Amino acid sequence: MGSGSGSGSGSSAAAALPGEGDEGGALPLPLLLALVLVLPAAAAWLAEWRRRRRRFVRLGDRLPGPRGLPLLGNALSFLGANEDVFQTVYRMCFEDSAVVRLWIGPRLLVFLVDPRDVELVLGSNEHLDKSAEYRFFEPWLGDGLLISSGSKWRAHRRLIAPAFHQHVLKGFVPLFAAHGRALVERLRAHAAAGGGAPFDVHGPLGAATVDILLETAMGVTKETDGVNGCEYAAAVIKLCDILHMRHTRLWLRPDWLFRLSSLGREQARLLRVVHGLTEQVIRRKKEEMQLANWREFLPEQVARVEYIGWQQNHAEQVQTPKDDLDEQDENDVGEKRRLAFLDMLLESTDDGQALTDDEIKEEVDTIMFEGHDTTAAASSFFLSLMGIHQDIQERAVQELRSIFGCSSRPATFDDVQQMKFLERCILETLRMYPPVPVVARQLKRDLQLASSDLVVPAGCTVVVGTYRVHRREDLYPHADAFDPDRFLADAEAAQRRHYYSFLAFSAGPRSCVGRKYAMLKLKILLSTILRNFKIYSDIEEKDFRLTGDIILKRAEGFQIRLEQRQEKNLTPAA
């Protein structure tokens, strides 16, 4: 007892020692405060997050879509070869309904194919941010125009759009024509090497479009820079392949896991190739500018603006909403100095508008990618279709005969304005085989659809199914038929069509900044090829194996045969 009470009094004595009890039992004041403040805040945040997530899932599940697995959702549908994935996604997302949702793990993807719904997304100044899927481009394109957002995107778009002004483009016509002739020689060599057997025309077209971009937008020549366009184009194709796999395979999404994989190592190698080229291009251009008194050097690269009353009928014969490119061309009065793309970026730093070296590199990488693979795919599909539809090829050639008569001269800007049927053939190619088959946006706030009473929740990825919109029977009757005349401006169906029915170059504020450049280049290159060769295809359209690894392609390659045209008067002089 005594010892019991002794020990009892001992412990009460210990408890009475000043300060000792506080240090052992209570928490220090800052920690206590943090807990009192942070814990409830964290709990409130978690509750709010759960409420929002539940609402997100509820709204997402209300949208029509295939059943998925717990946790994985529909992720397993994206397994397999790229061409199989394209078919599966097409079947699941586009065949039955105007709106379809898929769950890729916790991520919600909502596919839209009704032009009224598409307008709400692409036409909006609010839903301008690219979806999270675009982040896989970052190691390659940095935060360039394709993926940047907010004030950076706005400022760079304003800066870059004038580099694609009609008057700059006019100055490129002789270069496009010269490259057209060089391409014809390259194709002739390919055809001869194979003894007239079919060959994949995408390779030579890809290399040619890289060379053209270098000489026009970047203002450097292949000869002076020893740049290898073929190597660059091949690296881009492989990079797109890897990016596409990261979109569809959940385990490749985390950066750290991807970097450890063999694909991560391969991407690092390919990036050295593409960045090597852009760094070389910028370095060369800077050296050139320093060497020459560069104020004197500029006029060669600059197309000066004379106001010549540009008519609206120069534009593609398709009704699309006007964008900033149209506005800058239409409102152009008086004489202004216009610079080609890279000159303009470098001069902007000189003017104190301060694009950093990294920003310049990002934009050069972006233009090199966006500007080359898209046009290579478009022209490859065009030649395939010409090879299949001999009657249409003949009509296009007749038009060229009516423009060039007996002359073998290269195409001029005025000739291009007369290539109306060729333009319709290109537009119809872009309708049936849009090089960018889908575009995606991050939804900033809930979207009440126009086509139904469904609501798409904020935070999801909205995927605009360009390929599917272009194949809708209600917009394009006999949609699977190649019919360039559906783009006749006065055709009844064309008049009735919704503005957001033709989306090859996207539409709205974030439409393709190189649209006019692309159309001009395509018309000159493709007319030059048609004037030289008769094109054949042994594969019919129904046997095309489409694959959509970022850019739409044919898995079997773009196999065509070429036969030299006999008419001398159609062959432009070398």
Task: Please enumerate, by residue number, every residue annotated as part of a binding site.
Answer: 512
Q: What angle do CA 199, 202, 207 make, to 5 degrees?
A: 120
* Binding-site string for ligand HEM from residue 111 to residue 150, where x marks contact by CB under 6 A and - marks none: ----------------------------------xx----
Q: Which stretch binds ligand HEM (CB under 6 A): 109-117, 306-314, 328-336, 366-374?
A: 366-374
Indicate the SS3 state at residue 556.
coil
User: Would you give the distance in Å from CA 88 to the centre of its chain?
Assistant: 22
- Is residue 512 a contact point for ligand HEM (CB under 6 A)? yes
- Is residue 436 a contact point for ligand HEM (CB under 6 A)? yes
- Report the candidate in 82, 52, 342 with the shortest Cα–Cα distance to residue 218: 342
Annotation: binding site for heme:
512
Number of Cβ within a 10 Å radius of residue 154: 14
**Least distance to ligand HEM from the beta carbon of 61, Å?**
27
- Is residue 74 a contact point for ligand HEM (CB under 6 A)? no
- Is residue 528 a contact point for ligand HEM (CB under 6 A)? no
Structure tokens given for 545: 């194996």
Between CA 115 and CA 470 the distance in angstroms is 10
Residue 430 has φ and ψ, to the nearest 5°, of -65, -30
Could you say which of 77, 82, 320, 375 contacts ligand HEM (CB under 6 A)?
A: 375
- Is residue 520 a contact point for ligand HEM (CB under 6 A)? no
- Is residue 162 a contact point for ligand HEM (CB under 6 A)? no
Positions in 203-222 near ligand HEM (CB under 6 A)? 217
Residues in the chain, total: 574
Mind giving me the DSSP string for 284-302?
Answer: HHHHHHHHTTHHHHHHHH-
Between CA 400 and CA 396 the distance in angstroms is 6
201 vs 570, beta carbon nearer ligand HEM:
201
Could you say which of 517, 533, 544, 558 contacts ligand HEM (CB under 6 A)?
A: 517
98 vs 440, beta carbon nearer ligand HEM:
440
191 vs 205, beta carbon nearer ligand HEM:
205
466 vs 571, beta carbon nearer ligand HEM:
466
Sheet containing strand 439-442, strands side by side? 99-104, 107-112, 461-464, 439-442
- Is residue 320 a contact point for ligand HEM (CB under 6 A)? no
Contact yes or no for 481/84 (Cβ under 8 A): no
- Is residue 439 a contact point for ligand HEM (CB under 6 A)? yes
459 vs 509, beta carbon nearer ligand HEM:
509
Indicate the SS3 state at residue 455.
strand
- Is residue 157 a contact point for ligand HEM (CB under 6 A)? yes
139 vs 509, beta carbon nearer ligand HEM:
509
Question: 229-248 and 262-291 are packed helices; what angle lies between their axes, rounded to 10 degrees?
Answer: 140
Between CA 226 and CA 410 the distance in angstroms is 26
Structure tokens given for 560: 């065509």
**Least distance to ligand HEM from the beta carbon of 116, Å?**
19
**Least distance to ligand HEM from the beta carbon of 148, Å?**
8
Could you say which of 115, 180, 435, 484 contacts ligand HEM (CB under 6 A)?
A: 435
- Look up residue 103 and give its DSSP letter: E
82 vs 374, beta carbon nearer ligand HEM:
374
Could you say which of 229, 514, 548, 572 contacts ligand HEM (CB under 6 A)?
A: 514
Q: Which stretch binds ligand HEM (CB under 6 A): 41-49, 264-272, 347-355, 364-372?
A: 364-372
**Least distance to ligand HEM from the beta carbon of 258, Å?**
21
**Least distance to ligand HEM from the beta carbon of 76, Å?**
26
- Is residue 247 a contact point for ligand HEM (CB under 6 A)? no
Between CA 408 and CA 406 the distance in angstroms is 7
- Is residue 102 a contact point for ligand HEM (CB under 6 A)? no
Number of residues that bind ligand HEM (CB under 6 A): 23
Between CA 317 and CA 424 the distance in angstroms is 7
Mind giving me the DSSP string for 146-199?
Answer: TT--HHHHHHHHHHHGGGG-HHHHHHHHHHHHHHHHHHHHHHHHHHHHTTT--E
197 CB burial (10 A radius; 0-12, 13-18, 19+) = exposed
Q: Which stretch binds ligand HEM (CB under 6 A): 50-58, 234-242, 253-261, 369-377?
A: 369-377
**Least distance to ligand HEM from the beta carbon of 166, Å?**
14
Could you say which of 204, 206, 371, 465 contacts ligand HEM (CB under 6 A)?
A: 371
198 vs 204, beta carbon nearer ligand HEM:
204
- Is residue 270 a contact point for ligand HEM (CB under 6 A)? no
137: Cβ contacts below 8 Å, ≥ 6 apart: 146, 147, 243
93 vs 378, beta carbon nearer ligand HEM:
378
- Is residue 510 a contact point for ligand HEM (CB under 6 A)? yes
- Is residue 103 a contact point for ligand HEM (CB under 6 A)? no
201 vs 378, beta carbon nearer ligand HEM:
378
Structure tokens given for 520: 């001009």
423: Cβ contacts below 8 Å, ≥ 6 apart: 316, 317, 487, 519, 523
Mind giving me the DSSP string for 38-62?
Answer: HHHHHHHHHHHHHHHHHHHHHHHHH
- Is residue 504 a contact point for ligand HEM (CB under 6 A)? yes
- Look up residue 135 and give its DSSP letter: G
Q: Which residues bind ligand HEM (CB under 6 A)?
A: 145-146, 157, 217, 366-367, 370-371, 374-375, 378, 435-436, 439, 504-506, 510, 512-514, 517-518
